[in-house]
Amino acid sequence: MFDYDEKIDKKIEQLKDDMIVYAKKLVSFPSVSGNELGAQTYVKEVLSSLDFNHIDMWEPDIDKLKNHEAFNSGRTNFKNSPNVVGTKKGIGGGRSLILNSHIDIVPEGNLNEWNYDPFGGDIANGNIYGRGTSDMKGVNASIFIVLKAFQEIGLKLKGDIIFESVIEEETGGAGSLACVLRGYKADAAIIPEPSNFAICPAQQGGVWYRITIKGKAAHGGKRYLGESAIEKIPQFIKKIRELETYINDEYYSDLYEGNPIPFCINIGKVNAGNWPSAVPDSAIIEGRIGVPPNSTLKEIRKLFEESIEKVSEEDSWLKHSKPDIEWFGVSWPSAQIEVNHPIVELTRKCYKTILNKEPLISGTPWGADAAVLTKYSGTPTLIFGPGATAHDADEHIPIDSLLIFSKILACIILDWCGFIN
């Protein structure tokens, strides 16, 4: 591994104000799903200024996506929601690297809970505030100044850099899937989601479920003539907790060491009954299942269905009036690359070079787009980025952490892609 050049470190520090300008501009766009065009147009302008050889901006074709097993989206088209991919061709002889970042954000929520303008990019307490600063527009600004530093110093990379600014990550990953189906791939990829600088070769997946429990209606004054769907709920909760324990034992991973429940089965919503004086004939439980990196969506769905079937077998009413199970909404596949994969080892070394300490190597407790790239484009993908807060009121990211990420990323790119000066 090369010695990190002090000249690059100094240049990145000099570009701090440029980074803040990039971040504030990106945050100014309320790029929720369906409203990404303005932000993506700006990304295209920036990539053009950074001398990317080819910039590809297109609205994904839902007809080409909807039959793919990894497709997740409630939308019927992607009008005004383009992906942007810039390719900066190397001079040859180096490895290629994808930098994948999503431009879509979650809604700002209740404005009364914000002390700062969600789209103002306010600077206070050493932080940049606003929706998407941590997840993940701030890190885009970090990437831009790395590439600008190379440009100003006159470094020429040997391998290709592919920057993907994708839509729909927050709602299922259709943007990254569209990149895969368009043919984008590389020797490795980094997705700088807010991992708080943990290096994550493993990504947990997730899937939503719905259980509809059937009872028998009756007047509340003669409840003994009915069968309360509400009173069946504890049996399902008990079985769900048993399954959660089984999954965490069966799919144990050292990458989740210290996490009390790495793969949670959440019970997020319960609806039941419609009248105080009536025995409820229906109850609905909805939630999310964490999918371990060393498993598949199919495996976990099957285990869940078998567990719910056991509840029916153990209850005289449910045995003849079985609940319905639906898989609805979004689902994210899981994925893992080798802990000693070259991109993981290099990221660890560069982290230590810049910060003079060992990083945390772990798996994510949430889904992201890494599985789409790893599984469907054959691009080994790592999650590694600054930031920790996301989706909260007063979302923010420390400016210093963005600069640190820029320095680590510069170190990674120069070694991975190779360069001449």
pLDDT digit string (tens) for 376-394?
Answer: 999 999 999 997 778 889 9
Mean of pLDDT values over 266-283: 97
122, 386 Cβ separation under 8 angstroms:
no
For residues 28 and 17, give the distance between their C-alpha atoms in angstroms, rounded to a whole number. Answer: 17
For residues 18 and 13, give the distance between their C-alpha atoms in angstroms, rounded to a whole number. Answer: 10
Q: Give the chain's mean pLDDT.
A: 95
Q: Given 3-state DSSP classes, what are the helix, strand and coil percentages for the chain, each rounded to the nearest 5?
A: 35, 25, 40
Q: State percent of the chain over pLDDT 90.
A: 92
What are the tens digits of pLDDT across the range 227-254? 999 999 999 999 999 999 999 999 999 9
Give how far the C-alpha of residue 46 lies from the chain's centroid of Cα atoms, to the nearest Å: 24
For the chain, the straight-line distance linking the first and the last C-alpha, in angstroms and rounded, comes to 17
Query: Residue 288: which of 178, 366, 190, 369 has the closest Cα?
Result: 366
Mean of pLDDT values over 89-93: 97
Q: Of the listed 36, 108, 135, 169, which one is catalytic? A: 169
- Residue 321 per-residue DSSP state: S
**Domains of the chain by range and CATH?**
6-203+334-420 (3.40.630.10), 206-332 (3.30.70.360)
For residues 161 and 300, give the distance between their C-alpha atoms in angstroms, rounded to a whole number. Answer: 36
Q: Residue 154 class from Cβ within 10 Å (0-12 exposed, 13-18 middle, 19+ buried)?
A: exposed
Query: Residue 212: which of 322, 78, 324, 110 has the closest Cα?
Result: 324
> Cβ neighbours of residue 351 under 8 Å, at least 6 residues apart?
197, 199, 357, 358, 359, 408
What are the tens digits of pLDDT across the range 296-346? 999 999 999 999 999 999 999 999 999 999 999 888 899 999 999 999 999
- Residue 68 per-residue DSSP state: S
- Residue 173 per-residue DSSP state: S
- State yes or no: pLDDT of 4 exceeds 80: no
Mean of pLDDT values over 100-129: 96
- State yes or no: pLDDT of 1 exceeds 60: no
- DSSP run (H or E) holding 138: helix 138-153
Residue 331 is predicted with a pLDDT of 87
For residues 37 and 162, give the distance between their C-alpha atoms in angstroms, rounded to a whole number. Answer: 20
- The confidence band for 351, taking pLDDT boundaries of 50, 70 and 90, is very high
What are the tens digits of pLDDT across the range 207-225? 999 999 999 999 999 999 9
Q: Of the listed 36, 104, 160, 168, which one is catalytic? A: 104
Long-range contacts of 373-377 (CB under 8 A, 24+ apart): 373/98, 373/100, 373/176, 373/180, 373/189, 373/191, 374/335, 374/336, 374/337, 375/70, 375/333, 375/335, 376/68, 376/70, 376/177, 376/180, 377/179, 377/180, 377/184, 377/185
For residues 333 and 222, give the distance between their C-alpha atoms in angstroms, rounded to a whole number. Answer: 48
344, 338 Cβ separation under 8 angstroms:
yes
Tokens 């640190």 label which residue?
A: 404
104 among known catalytic residues: yes
Mean of pLDDT values over 119-140: 96
Give, to the nearest 10 degrees, the angle between helix 16-27 and helix 138-153: 140
Tokens of 391: 């989706």
Residue 356 is predicted with a pLDDT of 96
169 among known catalytic residues: yes
Residue 2 is predicted with a pLDDT of 56
Residue 394 is predicted with a pLDDT of 94
Q: State percent of the chain over pLDDT 70.
A: 99
Residue 228 is predicted with a pLDDT of 98
Provide the total of helices (H) and of strands (E) in the chain, helices listed first. Answer: 11, 18
